[in-house]
Chain A
Amino acid sequence: MRGHLILRVVSKLLIPFLLLFALYVQFHGDFGPGGGFQAGVIVAAAFVLYALIFGLQAAQKIISPALLEVAVPLGVLIYAGVGVLTWSLGGNFLDYGMLDSHDPSHGQHLGILLVEAGVLMTVSSTMLLIFYAFAGRGR
């Protein structure tokens, strides 16, 4: 994609806002529509856009497949790890109220935040990895 000046300039302007919007969707998920899945897909879409405009190699230079392969299981581990943590604090599996000894509702907020972070990590990296796999096959 050498010649597509307009596409390159517009996508360069757009991608930071896409990532910012993903963060908004992620952290505002408690109060409005959104959450880990939606944010993860938006993050993946931003990088897919980058890969479509600037080429697969440029995208893989920014986020390498090896890094993504670590991030996919790491997200699941964060999720399950929160469950194990609440276990070790004396509660049930994924009983977030245990995370804050003073106010269970703070614990709920913290637990949901951590769990959604795990979901974001797994979803965004899996989607991007699947795209890399399909795009890399064609070369």
Chain B
Amino acid sequence: MPLLAGDVEGMDMEGLNELAFVLGGVNHWITVFLIMAGLYIIVSRSNMIKKLVGLSIFQTSVYLLYVSPGKIIGGTAPIIIEGAEDQLYSNPLPHVLILTAIVVGVATLALGLALVVRVNEAYGSIEEDEVYSDGDWN
């Protein structure tokens, strides 16, 4: 595998460039769609568990946003292969950051679910509307 990206593109430069542009766009736009979907669930639904699932979707879309620019066409996973000096590797830094984000994400999910369970015990409901109308808020 050649080291320089120019050599990779040299094989079929025009076609690959076009494809990379469109696919890069598709990747970003679907990421944006997932962010929109997550935000919509969080804002519109009053069920707290559904809200937490929406929050997870929001979170996972950010993984996509970070990892997709770090991918290099013609590259491979960032595990150095001995003896292959001119191997091209994808960028390892976003992987490290997202690894941290995933584990923090499950920690927040667990804490949120614990709060939902306690809310259910106190109010007998996990619907935000019912919980609010139960108290002194309105």
Contacts and interface: CB of A to CB of B under 8 A. Distances in A.
Do A's and B's CB atoms come within 8 Å in the complex? yes
B22 to A, nearest CB: 30
A20 B107 CA distance: 25
Contact of B103 (A32, A123, A130, A133): A123
B32 interface: no
Interface in B47-94: 77, 79
A134 B79 contact: no
Given A37-B99, A37-B103, A31 B117 contact: no
A38 to B, nearest CB: 9
B117 A130 contact: no
A33 interface: yes
Interface size class of B (residues with CB under 8 A): 10 to 19
Interface in B74-126: 77, 79, 99, 102-103, 106-107, 110, 113-114, 117
Contacts of B79: 31-33
**Interface secondary structure of B, over-half rule:** helix
A17 B99 CA distance: 25
Contacts of B103: 37, 123
Interface in A16-37: 31-33, 37
A4 interface: no
A40 to B, nearest CB: 9
A137 interface: yes
A32 B77 CA distance: 10
Interface of A: 31-33, 37, 123, 126-127, 130, 133-134, 137
